[in-house]
Chain A
Amino acid sequence: MDGYPVELKGVYRSFGKSEVIRGFDLDLTKNAMTGIIGPTGAGKTTIMRLVNGAIKPTKGTVRVLGLDPCKKTKAKVSAIHSYPVMDINHSLKVKYYLDLYGRAYPGFDFSFAAKLLEYFNLDQKAKFGNLSTGQKALMHFIFGLSSRCPVTMFDEPFNGMDIEMRKLAGKILLNDYMEHPRNIIVASHILPEIEHLLSEVIIINKGEKVFYGDMDQVRDMMCEISGNAEILDAFSGKLPQESIMHRTKSAMSQSLVIKASPNSDLAKSAKALGLEASPVTPEDVCIYLTGGKAGDDIYDLWNNEENGNA
């Protein structure tokens, strides 16, 4: 198969008047473990539903293994969208769903799924509705993983799982990926949890692709400059507006987040002025790229000037 396992070209998707995906282009790297990170409502789930053919684009094209997943069965069964909050019948048993998944996906590994269910003490004879929230999430995760689909998409898979389950599920995900290389996409709004499993990441905001590349590029993208207020002001005055991602001013300190690596010449020039340049975590990079609040302004919530309580 030439080309990319998943290709999105100029994809738009609206729901009524709401344009949920806008001008989205993507050539997915073969056999990568790719994260999709973005605020809630950014469009992560919609992208996954476009890829597995559950919905079609309003404009543009989606191709999985070179085929249209809305029209070709081969493409549809090559991409699975697995999510813990799937609305399914509560009175049916786990083994019913095991059978259902097994028949829907040609590469489904029954014995692996059965082993995983046993490993997590999930009784195949249990009714789905009687499982705990975490167990429900586990079941979906196990079936998604066992499908061995060439494009396997997990949509916030760990929601509801307890700490031990999450850790184990993460390790199992990584190992199965190494044993059976394929494209795995994981959507999350908690990047630290999956960060080290990923080789690359898509950052999405308000339906648009904001970034697609290596995790290491994200780690190196920004730095925080802090120190003496006057020197900082002079330094920031010389910078182009677009490179300033955020400013903080509190009782204790002042700082500036800029779009430059902590090892860049710009950061070095800040250090030469006596300022400090420290790295910004990938999680915070995502928050700044998606225009999020960093929470410095929360203190106004407790200002009751009308009551004279200021």
Chain B
Amino acid sequence: MKVNFNDSTPIFRQIADAIEDDILSGKLKEGDNCYSQIDIARELSINPATAQKGIRLLVDAGELEKVRGQSMVVKTGAVSMIRKKKTEGVLLEMIDRLVTEAKKLGIDASDLIDKVVSAYDEEEK
């Protein structure tokens, strides 16, 4: 897990995002124990309360749950929940920014779409 201390995004949010990325990628599977606040605090050299704040965000979002006697566990359905949330949230924000930038540069919609399509093809190579 890596966080950027110079980013304006609060650390606890970066931690929540990083855990969600790991859930999406399958590094953390539904039913697995999530990283504990102590593990995260040690890994990043931060106060455990900050780590706990990030974990709690995901508990409140219904992606992690406390199982009696153990640390937090990745809930069933977390993957599709996260995918939906990020598609409707972060991705749309990125698209807005992309469109704003493209308009600044005088690039029209179909040019932009062409560029996006080639980017997909590049990724696949």
In the assembled complex, A33 has its CB within 8 A of some CB on chain B: yes
- Scoring A residues 153 to 180 as 1 if CB is less than 8 Å from chain B, else 0, what string do you get? 0000000000000000011001100100
CB-contacts of A183-204 with B (<8 A): 196-199
Q: Which residues of A contact B (CB under 8 A)?
A: 32-33, 170-171, 174-175, 178, 196-199, 215-216, 219-220, 262, 278-279
Chain B residues whose C-beta falls within 8 Å of the C-beta of A198 in the assembled complex: 47
B8 lies within 8 A of A174 (CB): no
Give the distance to chain A from B70, nearest Cβ to Cβ, in Å. 19
A170 lies within 8 A of B45 (CB): yes
Give the distance to chain B from A260, nearest Cβ to Cβ, in Å. 15
The number of inter-chain residue pairs (CB within 8 angstroms) is: 38
B8 lies within 8 A of A262 (CB): yes
A178 lies within 8 A of B41 (CB): yes
Chain A residues whose C-beta falls within 8 Å of the C-beta of B5 in the assembled complex: 196
Give the distance to chain A from B59, nearest Cβ to Cβ, in Å. 18
With A175-B42, A178-B41, A178-B48 as known contacts, state yes or no: A196 contacts B11, CB within 8 Å.
yes
Give the distance to chain A from B26, nearest Cβ to Cβ, in Å. 29
Chain A residue with the shortest CB-CB distance to B45? A171
B49 lies within 8 A of A199 (CB): yes
Give Cα A253–Cα B84 distance, bound, in whole angstroms. Answer: 41
Chain B residues whose C-beta falls within 8 Å of the C-beta of A215 in the assembled complex: 47, 50
Chain B residues whose C-beta falls within 8 Å of the C-beta of A262 in the assembled complex: 8
With A178-B38, A196-B5, A196-B50 as known contacts, state yes or no: A219 contacts B10, CB within 8 Å.
yes
The one of B8, B38, B46, B53 that contacts A197, using a Cβ cutoff of 8 Å: B46
A216 lies within 8 A of B46 (CB): no
Chain B residues whose C-beta falls within 8 Å of the C-beta of A175 in the assembled complex: 42
The one of A33, A219, A220 that contacts B47, using a Cβ cutoff of 8 Å: A33
For the complex, count residues of B whose C-beta is within 8 A of A. Answer: 16
B10 lies within 8 A of A174 (CB): no
Give Cα A196–Cα B49 distance, bound, in whole angstroms. Answer: 10
Give the distance to chain B from A82, nearest Cβ to Cβ, in Å. 19
Give the distance to chain A from B48, nearest Cβ to Cβ, in Å. 6
Q: Which residues of B contact A (CB under 8 A)?
A: 5, 8, 10-12, 38, 41-42, 44-50, 53
Chain B residues whose C-beta falls within 8 Å of the C-beta of A178 in the assembled complex: 38, 41-42, 48
Give Cα A82–Cα B41 distance, bound, in whole angstroms. Answer: 25
Give Cα A174–Cα B5 distance, bound, in whole angstroms. Answer: 17
Chain B residues whose C-beta falls within 8 Å of the C-beta of A32 in the assembled complex: 49
Give Cα A198–Cα B45 distance, bound, in whole angstroms. Answer: 11
With A170-B45, A174-B45 as known contacts, state yes or no: A199 contacts B10, CB within 8 Å.
no
The one of A196, A216, A220 that contacts B45, using a Cβ cutoff of 8 Å: A196
A174 lies within 8 A of B12 (CB): no
Give Cα A278–Cα B46 distance, bound, in whole angstroms. Answer: 24
Chain A residues whose C-beta falls within 8 Å of the C-beta of B12 in the assembled complex: 216
Give the distance to chain B from A142, nearest Cβ to Cβ, in Å. 19
A216 lies within 8 A of B10 (CB): yes
Chain A residue with the shortest CB-CB distance to B8? A279
Chain A residues whose C-beta falls within 8 Å of the C-beta of B41 in the assembled complex: 174, 178
Chain B residues whose C-beta falls within 8 Å of the C-beta of A174 in the assembled complex: 41-42, 45-47
Ordered by A's residue number, 28 sampled pairs between the chains whose C-beta atoms are within 8 Å are: A32-B49, A33-B47, A170-B45, A171-B45, A174-B42, A174-B45, A174-B46, A174-B47, A175-B42, A178-B41, A178-B42, A178-B48, A196-B5, A196-B11, A196-B45, A196-B46, A196-B47, A197-B45, A197-B46, A198-B47, A199-B47, A199-B50, A215-B47, A215-B50, A216-B53, A219-B10, A220-B10, A279-B8
Most buried by B among A196, A215, A278: A196
Chain B residue with the shortest CB-CB distance to A179? B38
Give Cα A292–Cα B12 distance, bound, in whole angstroms. Answer: 29
Chain B residue with the shortest CB-CB distance to A194? B47
